[in-house]
């Protein structure tokens, strides 16, 4: 910008080029034209010329003020941190920098000139000047007077022209001055604007820096230890006060400078205070999340420590998060479960399961029971993992627990539990009644001895418990339910009657149960009593009394007179000693149901025979499919009791229903568990109705019995007459051979009774009736348990059928016959069929579906089956002797020329006796 052309200067100044050229000439600067360049020197020269003219004018204007110039100076201050960039030096006087920041004084000078506007048109229209000179002149007269005075002596044309020139020069001068003024104003305005912007920028930067410092201070404070909000506020207030006091004492300038600091600090303090609730909220969230986590583990609530709040993301914890991978659950599958339950276990909707099953071709309803296999398929289809549930689940674990607990307590001798059996009218009831009436203390409380199905008697030598259900029907029924309650069987035989069919049955039952017998020969008071005959008859049933050199005790009693009852009790206790009956007295009770009924007033009533531990009032028990808390207990005399030890029968109130005789009884720690086990059992018994738990049948024998063992066929034979029975028994027993053993569990004369059927259940036997039929009760058991019951009227038919059944048990005779032989001539390799042996059938016939052997040098190198049998392009079922064929051996590609392929057939023939 040091050199400009005349034209540029003219446009900058805003006057025509010609006038500028004139002015330049007047200033003594030679400018050739519009494009001539002007040096800085020349410009200054022009300015000097113009100023000189202006100076003259100024002097004149003082005399006649046609214009007024106003000057104003304003001083302001800016505070600026040291880090901030320096402000422009123009018009800025840098003050001594204070600590941490510096204050800048800004001085703004303004000069404004007001010109009398009456002259403006003349100034603005120089072209019209000559015509309007007069008024102008008059107006300008005072200013121009000196020059006119100077020029007045002339008065010539020259003077006129000179005056005109002067006038022009004057105008030019005015113009230049105006321009200069405008220029000056613009410059000042620009400078002021620049300063203002700079100051603004500085302030902004200062604020940012202050905010940074504040933030850092906060961060540091938070990192150290979060101060108590009140304390922080107080400290800040103190600081504020202190600062303001200092500010008051200091110069106003300093006060101005210091003022923002407390404000900032206060704001910072406020921020801390404001921040506190946020933190509290965080802690609350953290505590809650702790609680949730710990809750799952069964623990308590976590402490409200800030340290415990692990991550700031905790606040997002409650926001739903889309799972990133499918949730695979482990689903335990019991034997059977409903669609709804399966859906529940997989945490899916029931409709999902129904849909999945529908796709598998099964139409099910939500409550339909699914078997294990189907359920597992559904679980796999829906992408979860099926796990076989422990079939014994709740029940199994409970039984294990009870056994384990029992093992923890020392076993003590316990009273024997006795069942009385014998033929009808031989005096079982009489015997029991006699013992009870004489031995059981009549209830002091109730007065009336109750029939609760069992009772116990105290003797000098010990206690004996009797099951008060005479006959082997009950005995077998209980055994059929798996309850082994009886320790000793007392077989009552009337001395005047001897061994009768039911006596024999009783022996069989006792033997099947592995329970020792004590024979009580009753009605000894009768004149025709003949105990020797009884003993003799018993030998037929392999019951040898001690008198006769055996090990069975025999006591002669009379239920009428009471003779021998003590001896009988002694014998029982002696036998018990031999048996070394023990059970823990302490610990939870385990027992069996003797009988149960529904009492109108008292609800379900069950007689429990405690077998181990002690049953107490208030215990929670589970029995079969029922459970409940023992509300009250009574003994056989009707007196309430608090507890019952091993082998003691008690009547129990409080069960949810009536369990079956023979069901087990277990004490459970909590009711929920009892309910679980009971429900599990109920569900299982429901299920078992679907499952045909068929008893053994002749047809199934072969399938049911395992190989390698000696197979046994258990039979129960009932016949119309003793003669037939003996004949049958002899013939059947002769069928026993090395592989199959025929065992006659029970036999007798008369119809098939319920006890026969129960015995068949427990001993897995087949019921055979020769000219006899089963009674209604027996048929019901046969039906329920799916027993095999057969009637015959011809002896050899019965024997033949059993023979056939047993034959089925014999392993069949397998014979092998070679039906064809082919010679391998060549081997072709086919990408489709593998190795194909080109053969000539040299013997017999080659059958496509028969097993084969590959022989090399007459040694078997492979045994298997044929993959293909072809002749030319045709697949054939068989190829006959003398024909060529292509043979592909299944899973074997190593056939070589010269090998032989032998085709054989196996024939199985059942073995007959
Ligand atoms: P259960 O069918 O085996 O229970 O026999 P009971 O106990 O009903 O007795 C049948 C009959 O035999 C009754 O009339 C009794 O009175 C009678 N009886 C039972 N025991 C004796 C006994 O020891 N002596 C005599 N003389 N009669 C008896």
Return d(Cα 177, Cα 171) in angstroms, integer: 10
Return d(Cα 529, Cα 708) in angstroms, integer: 52
Torsion over CA: 645, 648, 653, 658 (sign): positive
Coil, helix or strand for 50? Answer: helix
Provide the strand spans (E) within 56-213: 67-81, 92-93, 101-115
* pLDDT of the residue at 462: 85
* pLDDT of the residue at 818: 87
Q: What are phi and psi of 459, to 5 degrees?
A: -120, 170
| Tokens matching residue 39 | 């040096």
C-alpha closest to that of 465 among 352, 608, 602: 608
Coil, helix or strand for 560? Answer: coil
* pLDDT of the residue at 440: 65
Residue with tokens 């689940």: 393
Q: Is 856 exposed, middle or buried (0-12, 13-18, 19+ CB in 10 A)?
A: middle
DSSP 91-116: TEEPPPPPSSEEEEEEEEEEEEEEE-
3-state SS, one letter per residue, for 478-543: HHHCCCCCCCEEEEEEECCCCCCHHHHHHHHHHHHHCCCEEEEEECCCCCCCCHHHHHHHHHCCCC
Q: Looking at ligand 1, which residue's alpha carbon is closest to its atom 10? A: 425
Residue with tokens 């499918």: 326
- Ligand 1 test: best mutation among 423, 424, 425, most atoms within 8 Å of CB? 425
Kindly give, in sequence order, each residue whose CB lies less than 8 Å from that of residue 194, ignoring residues fewer than 6 positions away: 88, 90
C-alpha closest to that of 395 among 334, 466, 339, 447: 334
Residue with tokens 């058991």: 781
Residue with tokens 């092998």: 816
* pLDDT of the residue at 522: 92
Return d(Cα 788, Cα 757) in angstroms, integer: 10
The atom of ligand 1 lying closest to the CA of 557 is: 23
Q: Which residue ranges of the chain lie beneath pLDDT 70? A: 1-2, 54-66, 80-101, 117-161, 219-318, 323, 389-394, 439-451, 469-474, 476-477, 479-483, 685-711, 808-812, 910-913
What are the pLDDT digits (tens) for 146-165?
A: 444 444 444 455 566 677 77
The atom of ligand 1 lying closest to the CA of 432 is: 7
Return d(Cα 471, Cα 152) in angstroms, integer: 175
Return d(Cα 298, Cα 642) in angstroms, integer: 36
| Tokens matching residue 564 | 């021998």
Q: Give the Å distance between the CA of 492 and the centre of ligand 1.
A: 10
Q: Give the Å distance between the CA of 523 and the centre of ligand 1.
A: 7
Residues at CB less than 6 angstroms from ligand 1: 422, 424-430, 470, 522-523, 525-526, 558-560
Return d(Cα 210, Cα 201) in angstroms, integer: 14
C-alpha closest to that of 637 among 383, 458, 485, 776: 458
3-state SS, one letter per residue, for 713-728: EEEEEEECCHHHHHHH
DSSP lists the bridge partners of residue 104 as: 78
| Tokens matching residue 274 | 């404001």
| Alpha carbon separation from 150 to 88, 145, 147 (Å, rounded) | 49, 8, 5
Q: Looking at ligand 1, which residue's alpha carbon is closest to its atom 6? A: 427
- Ligand 1 test: best mutation among 422, 502, 559, most atoms within 8 Å of CB? 559
Provide the strand spans (E) within 131-239: none
C-alpha closest to that of 695 among 785, 790, 806, 778: 785
Provide the strand spans (E) within 399-495: 411-413, 417-422, 454-458, 463-467, 488-494
Return d(Cα 199, Cα 36) in angstroms, integer: 42
Q: Give the Å distance between the CA of 528 and the centre of ligand 1.
A: 15
Q: Is 912 exposed, middle or buried (0-12, 13-18, 19+ CB in 10 A)?
A: exposed
């Amino acid at each position: 910008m040091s050199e400009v052309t005349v034209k540029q200067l003219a446009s900058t100044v805003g006057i025509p080029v010609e006038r500028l050229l004139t002015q330049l000439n007047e200033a003594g600067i030679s400018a050739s034209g519009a494009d001539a360049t002007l040096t800085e020197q020349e410009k200054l020269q022009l300015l000097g010329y113009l100023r000189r003219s202006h100076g003259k004018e100024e002097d004149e204007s003082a005399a006649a003020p046609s214009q007024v110039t106003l000057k104003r100076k304003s001083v302001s201050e800016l505070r600026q941190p040291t880090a901030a960039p320096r402000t422009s030096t123009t018009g800025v006087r840098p003050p001594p920098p204070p600590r941490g920041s510096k204050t800048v004084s800004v001085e703004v000078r303004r000069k404004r000139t007001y010109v009398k506007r009456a002259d403006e048109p003349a100034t603005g229209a120089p072209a019209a000047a000559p015509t309007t000179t007069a008024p102008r002149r008059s107006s300008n007269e005072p200013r121009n007077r000196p020059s006119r005075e100077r020029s007045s002596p002339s008065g010539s044309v020259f003077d006129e022209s000179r005056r005109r020139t002067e006038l022009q020069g004057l105008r030019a001068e005015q113009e230049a001055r105006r321009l200069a003024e405008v220029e000056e104003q613009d410059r000042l305005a620009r400078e002021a604007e620049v300063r203002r912007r700079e100051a603004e920028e500085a302030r902004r930067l200062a604020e940012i820096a202050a905010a940074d410092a504040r933030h850092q201070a906060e961060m540091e404070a938070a990192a150290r230890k979060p101060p108590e909000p009140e304390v922080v506020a107080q400290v800040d207030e103190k600081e504020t006060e202190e600062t303001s006091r200092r500010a008051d004492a200091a110069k106003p300038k300093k006060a101005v400078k210091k003022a923002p600091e407390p404000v900032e600090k206060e704001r910072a303090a406020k921020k801390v205070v404001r921040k506190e609730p946020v933190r509290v909220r965080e802690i609350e969230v953290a505590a809650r999340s702790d609680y949730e986590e710990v809750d799952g583990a069964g623990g308590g609530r976590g402490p409200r420590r800030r340290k415990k709040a692990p991550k700031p993301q905790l606040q997002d914890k409650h926001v739903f998060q889309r799972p990133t991978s499918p949730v695979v659950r482990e689903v335990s599958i019991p034997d059977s479960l409903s669609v709804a339950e399966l859906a529940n276990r997989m945490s899916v909707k029931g409709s999902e399961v129904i849909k999945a099953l529908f796709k598998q071709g099964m139409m099910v309803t939500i409550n339909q029971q699914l078997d294990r296999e189907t359920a597992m398929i559904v679980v796999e289809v829906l992408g979860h993992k099926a796990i076989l549930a422990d079939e014994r689940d709740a029940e199994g674990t409970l039984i294990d627990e009870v056994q384990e607990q029992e093992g923890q307590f020392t076993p003590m001798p316990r009273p024997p539990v006795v069942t009385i059996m014998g033929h009808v009218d031989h005096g079982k009831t009489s015997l029991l009644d006699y013992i009870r009436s004489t031995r059981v203390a009549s209830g002091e409380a109730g007065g009336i001895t109750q029939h609760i199905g069992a009772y116990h008697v105290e003797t000098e030598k010990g206690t004996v418990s009797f099951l008060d259900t005479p006959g082997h029907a009950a005995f077998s029924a209980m055994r059929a339910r798996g309850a082994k309650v009886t320790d000793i069987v007392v077989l009552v035989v009337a001395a005047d009657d001897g061994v009768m069919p039911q006596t024999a049955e009783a022996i069989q039952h006792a033997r099947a149960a592995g329970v020792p017998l004590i024979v009580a020969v009753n009605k000894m008071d009768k004149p025709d009593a003949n105990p020797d005959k009884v003993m003799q008859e018993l030998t037929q049933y392999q019951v040898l009394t001690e008198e006769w050199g055996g090990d069975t005790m025999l006591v002669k009693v009379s239920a009428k007179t009471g003779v021998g009852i003590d001896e009988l009790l002694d014998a029982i206790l002696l036998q018990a000693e031999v048996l070394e009956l023990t059970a823990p007295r302490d610990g939870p009770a385990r027992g069996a149901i003797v009988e149960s009924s529904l009492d109108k007033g008292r609800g379900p009533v069950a007689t429990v025979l405690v077998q181990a531990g002690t049953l107490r009032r208030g215990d929670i028990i589970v029995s079969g499919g029922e459970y409940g808390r023992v509300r009250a207990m009574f003994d056989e005399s009707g007196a309430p009791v608090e507890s019952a030890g091993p082998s003691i029968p008690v009547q129990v109130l409080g069960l949810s229903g009536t369990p079956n005789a023979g069901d087990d009884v277990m004490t459970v720690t909590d009711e929920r568990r009892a309910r679980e086990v009971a429900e599990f059992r109920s569900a299982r018994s429901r299920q078992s109705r679907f499952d045909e738990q068929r008893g053994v049948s002749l047809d199934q024998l072969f399938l049911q019995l395992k190989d390698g063992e000696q197979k046994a066929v258990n039979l129960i034979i009932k016949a119309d007459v003793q003669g037939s029975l003996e004949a049958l028994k002899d013939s059947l027993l002769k069928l026993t051979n090395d592989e199959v053993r025929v065992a006659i569990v029970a036999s007798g004369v008369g119809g098939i009774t319920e006890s026969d059927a129960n015995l068949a259940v427990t001993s897995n036997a087949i019921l055979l009736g020769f000219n006899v039929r089963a009674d209604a009760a027996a048929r019901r058991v046969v039906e329920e348990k799916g027993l095999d019951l057969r009637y015959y009227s011809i002896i050899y038919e019965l024997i033949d059928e059993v023979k056939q059944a047993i034959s089925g048990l014999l392993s069949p005779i397998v014979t092998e016959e070679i039906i064809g032989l082919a010679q391998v001539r060549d081997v072709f390799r086919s990408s489709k069929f593998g190795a194909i042996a080109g053969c000539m059938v040299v013997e017999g016939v080659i059958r496509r579906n028969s097993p084969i052997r590959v022989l090399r040098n007459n040694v078997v190198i492979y045994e298997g089956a044929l993959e293909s049998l072809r002749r030319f392009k045709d697949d054939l079922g068989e190829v006959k002797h003398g024909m060529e064929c292509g043979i592909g051996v299944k899973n074997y590609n190593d056939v070589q020329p010269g090998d032989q392929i032998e085709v054989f057939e196996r024939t199985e023939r059942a073995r007959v006796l």
